[in-house]
Structure formats: structure tokens, C-alpha cells
A = this chain, B = another copy of it.
Amino acid sequence: MLDLLKPTVVRKRALRQGRDTREEILNAAEDLLQRRGYNAFSYQHIAVQLDIRNAAIHYHFPSKEDLGVALVQRYRQRFRDWTDEIAAKANAWGRLNAYFQTYVEYAEAQCKICPGGVLGSEFEAIPEEMRHEARLLMREIFEWLVETLELGRAQGSLTFLGDSRHKAVEIGAALQGGLQIARMAGPERFHQVLQQLALELCHSGADSLP
């Protein structure tokens, strides 16, 4: 057949048939972002990982800023989808616990940190449009946390001292910082943070937290 007549170049094409390169780039970049940070990963890292050339990435994302912005927008969309989904399934404590679980995966998967941690740390060293998206992401997470805490307090499934907005930032900050500390001091540190958070929300933390 025609395919057999054509050598390596076509084989490579065939390999990429049906594969969504753009999506794979985003996946690889997301992984790199949460491992190395924005300024410490390059198009080369992605190219090697996907076995494509540098220029192929530039076709999908002309500049690195485009890629960075797309990443944060994807985080935001994913968070929206996730909150919609979880709202149907669980009460406030269940939701919060499910949220914690995403961080557990970051910590255990292997020492990833969360988007907020990366963007916050490098905030002064990322393009303006990424900063804009980062602000939106943080606001959306914050608002969801506040709502969830207030709901939990009303339901009686969560108990905590003080203003729910203050508690929300504290929780968000502790999770974010906890992942970073875990990298340096070992993953058990992150579990200690989780246990303390659970304890202060009046849950034993022994049931669902590993």
C-alpha cells in the first residue's frame, strides 16, 4: 500500500495520527510546571518527553506565554467542572475532603506542588496575562472554600472558630505551603498538616485521611 512506500517521516506521522498533540503538550507542560516551575522548564523538556521537535510546540503555542496562559485557564476550567461534579455527590465535609484528596495526589504522585504555589512563588517573574489568570484562579478557589465552610457550619458537618473567610485562607495557605514543605522535609509533613486541619474542623481525620 501507499503507506509502505513511505519511510520514517510517514511512520512518525502515523504514530501521531489520532493523538491530540496540543493536549499532550499541555499535559507535559502541566507536569513540568508543578515540578520545576514556569521559568525552569523549556520547550525542549516537552519536546523530548513527547518525541517531537521544538517547532511543533511553537505551532500550537506560538510563545511560552501562550502556553502558560492556556495552562492556567485549563486549571480554572477543570476546577469549575470539579466543583460542579462534587456538589452533586457530597455534603460540605465530603467536598472539603475530596478537595484535600487532590493535594494528597500531588504529594504522593511524586512531590508535585499545586498551581497556586507555583504561580504565587514566581508571581513577579511570569507574564502579566498569566498573573491575571492566576488572580482569577485564586479568587475562584477562595470563594468555593468560603461557601463550603459556611455550608458545613450551617449543616453542622464542619465546626471551626472564627470568620469563614479567614478559615478559608488559612486552609488554602496550609495546603499550599504544606506541599512545598513536604518536598523538603518528607511527605509525612503534608499528612501532619492534613490531620491538623481535620482536627480543627472537628473531624478525627482517621477515617478518610491516609
Contacts and interface: CB of A to CB of B under 8 A. Distances in A.
B184 A196 contact: no
Contacts of A162: 195-196, 199-200
Contacts of A123: 111, 180, 183-184
Interface stretch (A55-63, A80-88, A185-193): A185-193
A175 B193 CA distance: 13
Contacts of A183: 120, 123-124
Nearest to A185: B138
- What bracket does the count of chain A residues touching chain B fall in? 35 or more
Copies of this chain present in the complex amount to 2
Contact of A181 (B161, B176, B179): B176
A161 B200 contact: yes
A9 interface: no
Main secondary structure of the interface of A (DSSP, over half): helix
A166 B193 contact: yes
Contact of A138 (B134, B139, B181): B181
Contacts of A138: 181, 184-185
B180 A178 contact: no
A173 interface: yes
B195 A116 contact: no
A29 interface: no
A139 B185 contact: yes
Interface stretch (A11-19, A33-41, A92-100): A33-41
4 residue pairs, one from A and one from B, having the closest CB atoms: A120-B180, A173-B177, A177-B177, A176-B177
Given A123-B183, A172-B177, 20 more contacts: A35-B124, A37-B121, A37-B122, A39-B39, A111-B123, A116-B177, A116-B181, A117-B177, A120-B181, A121-B121, A123-B180, A135-B184, A138-B184, A139-B185, A161-B196, A166-B192, A166-B193, A173-B173, A173-B176, A176-B181
